[in-house]
Every structure is written in structure tokens, then in C-alpha cells.
Structure 1
Amino acid sequence: MLSIALLLLPDFLLIVAGFSLCRWTALDRPVWAGVERLVYWLLFPVLLFTSIVRSPLQPAATLGLAAGGVLTVGTGIVLATLLRSVPGVDAHRQASGAQVAFRFNSYVALALAERLGGSASVAWVALLIALCVPLCNIGAVWSLARHGGHSTGRELLRNPLILATVAGLLGNLAGLKLPQVVDITFGRIGGAALPLGLMAVGAGLQFGGLREAKGLAVALLAIRHAVLPVVGLLLGVALALPLGQAQILVAFAAMPTASSCYVLAARMGGDGVYVAGLVTASTLLGMVSVPVALTLFSRLHGG
């Protein structure tokens, strides 16, 4: 477990660096808001596109992994939705926070995949992102729809991560080969996405947002960090995934939630402060849940 935790340590230190810079230097929140936009609209889409185009996906060989990712996210959506029927649960906070239980931090997922298995693992995570980001966004937007007049379809069609991933998949299937100059340029642009993205996650951490509805917070975080990793482990066995893909599925299932949960909640009239607290707690819990899940995976497979 220590070796896996050390694998995550560089990413965790980048998050700490972003948190520290935002609060104790002139690089305050407005600076990091601009960094978030840069990563979201340019750096991260370029990283996804180039990762997918460079790596042969072999759709038939990744069908089981794709099914595992969709089933994992689907389980989270169902469980988070069922919390609406629990007596005493505040409907507004549940609608705002439900997304925390099933969305995932793509920055951390890609950074970890690169360390676990190089470009092949990055391509597998990119495939999971391609399939699960739309599903997560549908679940999140649907949950918040009652609090605003936003169109789910329009939000999905404008998502740069989805657009870049679809473009990468189409390019890969068409056998697209980028010219060397373009490939190097895109590689350098995409290479900036992970460190800046992780630092932006740290800059966005907020404490104190969970003073209300603590029971709901515990339930949502338990789904994200306890239930879904177990689901990922079981699906890897049930679907007879190759070892590398099974490991990526487990890591994917144990990810901290997406930092953009706050943005969506605030934009669609949800309880942004509460969601910010959930995102902060999930980011910290992810530094434990990922090593634990991967250690269980290693022991299950005799590693």
C-alpha cells in the first residue's frame, strides 16, 4: 500500500501546492479561475485528443472495460438518486450533491494511469472518460434540472472534454497520424494539463461547507469512496478483464470526485457552498481510497 501511496504523492503535492499558492501568495483565486478555464477549454482537451489518437484502442479488446466503467458510474447514479427518498434528506442539497457520488476527477485519473501503465493505461482511461463523462453529466444535470432551465443536450454538446474525446476516437478509428511538428506541439500543450489541473484542484478546495446535512454528506462520500471501489473490484472479476484493464477500472472507481461539481451546482442554482465542501472532502479521501482499492486489487490478484 505504501508504494501505491507514493505513486500518488506527486499528484497530492501538486494539489497542496495549488492550495498554498492560492491562499498565501499573490496568485489568488482570480488567477486560478483563469487557469481552470485554460485547462478545461484547451490543455485538457488537447491531452485527451493526442492520447487517444496515439494509442490503438482495439474496441473489441476494451469492450469489457467500457462496460465496467459504465456499470460503475451507473451504480453511483442509482444509489445517489435513491437518497432522495430517505426521510429528512434536504431535496435541494441532495440534488446539488448527488453528482459528487458518481463523477470523477479526470486530472487525477489520467495522472495515475500514466504512472500505472504509460500510454496504454492513459488510452484506457480516455476511453472511460469518453463513455462516462456524458453519462455523469446527464446524471448531474438531470438531478439539478428542477432548479434551473438549462438544456441537458446543449450542455453535453458544448462540453470540450466530450468533443475532444469523440474527435480523438474518430481520428484513431480513421488511422489519423499527426505530422511530427503538430504531434510534438500538441504533446507539449497536453503535458501542461495535468500539473496545472491538479494545482487548480488544490486552489479550489474549500473547508467549512459541510456544517449542514452531515448525514447526507457521509452517504454521498461513502458511495464515492467505499461502494464504487468495491463495485469496480467485483466487475473486474465478473467481466474477466485483463489484469491491466482491471487495475485501471479499480483505480477509476476509487477516484475523488470532479472539482467541476461546484461549477455545475453554482451555475444551475444548487447549493454551491455545500458541494464545494463535498469536493474538498472527496479530494482528501481519494488520497486514501485509491491506495486502499489498488492494494486490495493487488492482494486479490496475488500481487
Structure 2
Amino acid sequence: MEVLGRLLALLAVLLVGTALRTTGVLDAGRTAKLNALAYYVALPALIFVSTYDQAIAELLSPALIGGLLFVVFLTAGIAWLIHRNRSSSARSSVAIVQSYHSNLGYLGLPLVAATFDARVTAIASVVLGVVTLTQVPLTIIVLSTFNGTDVAIGDKLLGLAKNPVFVSLIAGLSVGTIGVSIPPAIGSGLNVVGSLALPLALLCVGAALQIEASTLDVGAVSSVVALKIACMPLLAWLVFSALEVGTATFTAAIVMLGTPTAVSTYVFAAELGGDRKFASLNVFVTTVASIGTLFVLITLVG
């Protein structure tokens, strides 16, 4: 019941964000500032405090990397088979990428940190890094190929390498591997800042969600939901069970890959010719539906 209560509280904060946008409290400017606070301050702090006392060899393993890549590409392949012939290339491309592109930073890692111990959270930070480095380039390639848009992939990848998520992950793993001691006061302060990542992120996600009846395609939306929050974690369960990884690795991988579609897919769709309204709808539906599926996953692995 504690897990269910926590997830319902997350849903409440998400809906508060939507309500604040609807009433004009969280306008575009305020939402951008809140998003910057979450992305450039709170989330990097959470990643650093999760990894600075862990050696990289204790967190990163061939089984973890191989399993994550296999699940991401297998889910993407299934999504391509199902969605490749939608009514338009703009809709097909969005349906494909939103079936595998997970909300690891704004929901996955903060949720793991609030629910599990430090070991699981540290591995979840590594999962965030590995999967993001995979799914972002894949999403850019899928959208640009389907929609015939020109994109400088090299510039996108360079920007990805410079983002605060990877900088804080590399910094934390480096400190942990070298064995540098972090003063308790600094560690405590970063913990407080990191604890703000989840509520701030949920408010931002809620403020970004929009629904228009004209975009409702029950078949396409249902397929995206089924692939993202049911098929993908199920594949992860089967793959990591076969790999016989440790309990902490198994837990982190399953919960992180069971998260809903990332809000960033809406941004990518807007930039690369995808169906933006359809993308927004899928983000909303997968996020709300994932409250139930994440409860089941956390209960099973908890």
C-alpha cells in the first residue's frame, strides 16, 4: 500500500502541473524556468549523490549493457513492424519512437531513488546513461528518415554528450572509482537538492501535457501504450532473468524500462516532422497508465 500511495501522490503532482498550466499559473516562461531547475540542478544532484561512492566496475557490467541494448532495439523493431503503415509517415514515426523511448530522467531515476536503496539507485543512474545514449540517436534517425527531414546528427550527439545528466554521471562515477571523499555537509546538501528532482519533474511533465480530441486514434494510442509500459518491461524481465544478473541490477533495469514515454519525444517530433498532437496525447496516456503498471512492477521486484 505504501508503493501505491506513493504512485498516487505522483499522479496528483502530475495533475497539479496540468491544472497550473490550464489556469495560467505555469505559463511557458515559468515552465521553462522550472524545467531548467529540474534538468540542470536537481536531476544532476540526484545522479551525483547516487554514484559518487560507487566504483564504476561495481555498477557497469557487460550483462547490463548488453541486456539494455537488446531490449531497446527489440522493442523498436516490434514497434516498426506494428506502426510502419499508419495513416501518415508523421504518425508512424512518432508511434515507433514513443513505443521504446523511456522517461528515464524525469520519472524513472527519481522514482527509483524514492522507492529503493542506494545500490539500486546507483545502477539506475547507469541505466539512464546507457539507454539515453542509445534511444536519443535512434529516435532522431527514425523521425528524420520517415519524415525526410535534414538533421545534423553529429551536432545532436555533441549536445547530448555535454548535457548535465552525463556530466554528473561521469563526475559521480569518477569520484567513486578514484575514491575521493566528499564532505558530509556537501553530500547532505546535494541529497536535499536531489530530492526535489521528482516533484519538479512531474510538475513540468504535467504542464507540458495537452490533449486534443482530433488526435485520438484509439488503435494507434493503445498499441503505443501496450508496447511501452507492458511489452518493454516484460521483455526486460525475460532478458535479465536469462542473464542472471544481481537483484539490484534486475530491479533497476525493470523499473527504468517500465517508465512511460518521455516528454522529449514531443520535442523531437516537433523538430523532425512528426505528428506533434499525436505525440502529446501518447505522452499523457502512457504517463497516466504507467501509474498502474509501475505499481505492479515495483510490487513484483520489491
* Shared fold (TM-score, shorter chain, > 0.5): yes
TM-score by length of 2: 0.86
Offset, 1:70: 2.5
Higher mean Cα deviation, 247-256 or 126-135?
247-256
TM-score by length of 1: 0.86
Q: Are the counterparts in 2 of residues 66 and 127 from structure 1 also a CA contact under 8 Å?
A: no
Give a deviation string over 1:96-130, Cα, whole Å, max 9, x none: 33221112222221232123322212111101011
From the superposition, tell whether residues 177 and 263 of structure 1 become closer, same or farther in structure 2 (CA, over 3 Å): farther
Offset, 1:196: 0.6
What is residue 93 of structure 1 aligned with on the other side?
Answer: 91
Q: Which runs of 5+ in 1 are unaligned?
A: none
Identical amino acids, percent of aligned pairs: 23
Paired residues, what number?
296
What is residue 177 of structure 1 aligned with on the other side?
Answer: 181
Q: Are the counterparts in 1 of residues 210 and 280 from structure 2 also a CA contact under 8 Å?
A: yes
Give a deviation string over 1:120-171, Cα, whole Å, max 9, x none: 1211110101100010101111112234322223212212123332333333
Q: Are the counterparts in 1 of residues 266 and 276 from structure 2 also a CA contact under 8 Å?
A: yes
AA partner of residue 79 (structure 1): I
RMSD, aligned α-carbons: 2.5
Confirm whether residue 293 of structure 1 aligns to residue 297 of structure 2.
yes
Confirm whether residue 225 of structure 1 aligns to residue 229 of structure 2.
yes
Give a deviation string over 1:64-85, Cα, whole Å, max 9, x none: 3333322222222222233354
Determine the C-alpha separation between the residues in 2 that align with 1:260 and 1:31: 18
Q: Are the counterparts in 1 of residues 59 and 122 from structure 2 also a CA contact under 8 Å?
A: no
What is residue 9 of structure 1 aligned with on the other side?
Answer: 8
Q: Are the counterparts in 2 of residues 15 and 199 from structure 1 also a CA contact under 8 Å?
A: yes
Q: What pairs with 1:21-170 in structure 2 (closer than 5 Å)?
A: 21-24=20-23, 26-59=25-58, 62-86=61-85, 88-105=86-103, 106-146=105-145, 147=147, 148-159=149-160, 160=163, 161-170=165-174
Q: Are the counterparts in 2 of residues 8 and 287 from structure 1 also a CA contact under 8 Å?
A: yes
From the superposition, tell whether residues 154 and 83 of structure 1 become closer, same or farther in structure 2 (CA, over 3 Å): farther
From the superposition, tell whether residues 97 and 172 of structure 1 become closer, same or farther in structure 2 (CA, over 3 Å): farther
Determine the C-alpha separation between the residues in 2 that align with 1:204 and 1:289: 22
Q: Are the counterparts in 1 of residues 91 and 274 from structure 2 also a CA contact under 8 Å?
A: yes
AA partner of residue 52 (structure 1): T
